[in-house]
Structure formats: structure tokens, C-alpha cells
């Protein structure tokens, strides 16, 4: 059971390792992109390319959904970013339970956005946990874990790719020991639990009163979605790549300044405690541009105030 790109390596690893995948569950096709064309999930595309049976569901409460699942007689259900909570009736279907590939070191960063949560929190180390699912939100006992570093260059996009690969490898290493009874589930320490929430479009709008470090982390955490953006002359200005520049405050938050040639960005914006360097920007309806090229076409950008 999975939906986005993160899920695909786990499915591929299962197939490549010789496990018999009786069905692939994913969320329904949805409209996406500027043209709002109907789009299938990455997991559906990959599963169909392998000739696997695909089942798309919006919720488990629809009549006959659980009965259809039970008819597959699965020994084990693997979940990787499916996007739906599994009710107790689903959890009880497979003989060996339901395993979740969760991209954090549980109990840290339970919830909907653990990869972004690690970046927002400034974690230097994160990882993947293979968990035996229960009725709670990422509260089940742990079967295995693997650590992974978080670099200063990592975004949710790049870190998610690394964790997806690590999780897929850990999954196929863990399953045999679980099926053979060699792995004893370890309860999570709920007193150490932290939680992440669903990220919304408005989270990407920049508040220049925040610190440079906070804004830098948010820009990385919100890549690829919803991105970090501000407004310039009534249009949305997306900050594609930024760098933190720690400096004594030079003016009001949101004020755009030119940076010396030795700096990693041509222009910067005053934050609550320093400067956020703009490396690559994208004005609404235009292509991405290095900030020095953007400034050549927008002469009055330097000295202005962003909202």
C-alpha cells in the first residue's frame, strides 16, 4: 500500500527480492498540474508496468472494501506513504500483520510530514523505522531502524529520495526475520514522541520577521511543495534556492539588498536577525533565474521591500 514516489522503491525491492505481491493498493487518480489533468499515482504507474493488480481506494469504509482485501489472503501488508489510516479490521487481515516504512527514527516525528519535520527541527540525523502497525498514529512497536545524515543541502525532495532507498533496503532485510520469528517488536517510548502535521499551501508564504535559520530550513523543508514564496509587484515570487547569511540586521525585515561579489548570492533579504541570500528565484509565470540575472531585468528590485 503506497501512493507517492517515496513508496516506489519499497515496492520494487519486494518484487526484486522475490516476494509475491498479490495486489497493490494506492489512492485514486486525481487532477494535478496547471492543466488539472487526471494523473495516476507513481505507485500505480510502476505497479502496472510490472503487471501487478492495482486497487485504488479513497477510504476503507466503502462497503465491500475490506472483504475484497481479505479475499487476496495476504500473509503480510506493507505500507509506505499510503496516505490513509488503516482501521483495526484491516490490521487484522494478514497473518503477520501490517508493516510500515516510516521515514523517521520513531518515536521522533510521528505523523504526516516526518521528512520535512526533520529539516524544520534542524536534525542532523534522521532515518527510517520499520514498524508493526497498530490503531494509533505511528505508535506501533519497532522491528528495525536505520540512521541517515541530514546535510545542509538537503531538501524534503532530496532527503526523501535517500530515505526511500534506505527504507526499501531495510524492509527486505527485516521481513525474513519477522516472518521467521527472529525479531521481537520493541515498544516505542511515548514520552519521547514528537509529532508533525499536514503541510498546507499557506505554510510556504514567507514571514520575513522570522530568523534567517528558520527561513532557510523552511525553504528546504517545503521543497518541492508548497515551496517558499513572497510577493513582488503583486506577483508571487518563488524562492527556489536560498542560503543563510548571518549578519547584523541592516534594516527592516523584507528589505532587499545587494550583496558583495564574494557572497554565494547576488542579493539578499533582511530577516528578523540577519540576511537570507537569494540564489535562484522564479517570478510567477516566468522561468527560474539566478538572482543576478533576475536583478538585471528588475532594476528596482534592490532597495524594495517584499511582503
pLDDT tens digits for range 127-165: 999 999 999 999 999 999 999 999 999 999 999 999 999
DSSP code of residue 146: E
**Is residue 235 domain-resident?**
yes
Distances (CA, A) of 192 to 106, 127, 245: 9, 16, 33
pLDDT of amino acid 246 = 79
Domain assignment of residue 26, given as a range: 5-196
**Is residue 306 domain-resident?**
no
pLDDT of amino acid 112 = 94
Low-confidence ranges of the chain (pLDDT < 70): 33-34, 249
pLDDT of amino acid 249 = 67
Residues 234 and 257 grouped into a single domain? yes
What 3-state class would DSSP assign to 269? Answer: strand
pLDDT of amino acid 291 = 96
Residues 49 and 103 grouped into a single domain? yes
pLDDT of amino acid 32 = 75
Residues 137 and 20 grouped into a single domain? yes
CB 41 within 8 A of CB 62: no
Cell 522570522 found at = 210
Domain count along the chain:
2
Amino acid at each position: 500500500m503506497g501512493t507517492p514516489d517515496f513508496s516506489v522503491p519499497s515496492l520494487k525491492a519486494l518484487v526484486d527480492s522475490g516476494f509475491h505481491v498479490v495486489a497493490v493498493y494506492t489512492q485514486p487518480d486525481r487532477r494535478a498540474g496547471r492543466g488539472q489533468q487526471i494523473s495516476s499515482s507513481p505507485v500505480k504507474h510502476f505497479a502496472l508496468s510490472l503487471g501487478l493488480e492495482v486497487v485504488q481506494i479513497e477510504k476503507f469504509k466503502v462497503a465491500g472494501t475490506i472483504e475484497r482485501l481479505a479475499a487476496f489472503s495476504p500473509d503480510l501488508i506493507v505500507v509506505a506513504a499510503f496516505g490513509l489510516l488503516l482501521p483495526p479490521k484491516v490490521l487484522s487481515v494478514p497473518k503477520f500483520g501490517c508493516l510500515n516504512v516510516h521515514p523517521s527514527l520513531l518515536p521522533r516525528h510521528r505523523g504526516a510530514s516526518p521528512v520535512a519535520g526533520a529539516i524544520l527541527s534542524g536534525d542532523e540525523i534522521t532515518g527510517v523505522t520499520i514498524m508493526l502497525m497498530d490503531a494509533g498514529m505511528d505508535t506501533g512497536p519497532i522491528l528495525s531502524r536505520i540512521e541517515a545524515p541530514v546535510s545542509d543541502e538537503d531538501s524534503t525532495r532530496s532527503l526523501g529520495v535517500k530515505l526511500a532507498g534506505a527504507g526499501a533496503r531495510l524492509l527486505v532485510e527485516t521481513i525474513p526475520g519477522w516472518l521467521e520469528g527472529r525479531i521481537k517488536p520493541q515498544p516505542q517510548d511515548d514520552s519521547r514522541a514528537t509529532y508533525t502535521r499536514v503541510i498546507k499551501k499557506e505554510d510556504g508564504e514567507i514571514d520575513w520577521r522570522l530568523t534567517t535559520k528558520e527561513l532557510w530550513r523552511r525553504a528546504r523543508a517545503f521543497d518541492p511543495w508548497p515551496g517558499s514564496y513572497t510577493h513582488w509587484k503583486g506577483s508571487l515570487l518563488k524562492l527556489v534556492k536560498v542560503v543563510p547569511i548571518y549578519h547584523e540586521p541592516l534594516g527592516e525585515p523584507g528589505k532587499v539588498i545587494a550583496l558583495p561579489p564574494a557572497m554565494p548570492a547576488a542579493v539578499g533579504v533582511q530577516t528578523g536577525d540577519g540576511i537570507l541570500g537569494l540564489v535562484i528565484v522564479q517570478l510567477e509565470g516566468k522561468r527560474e533565474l539566478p538572482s543576478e540575472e533576475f536583478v538585471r531585468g528588475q532594476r528596482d528590485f534592490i532597495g524594495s521591500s517584499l511582503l
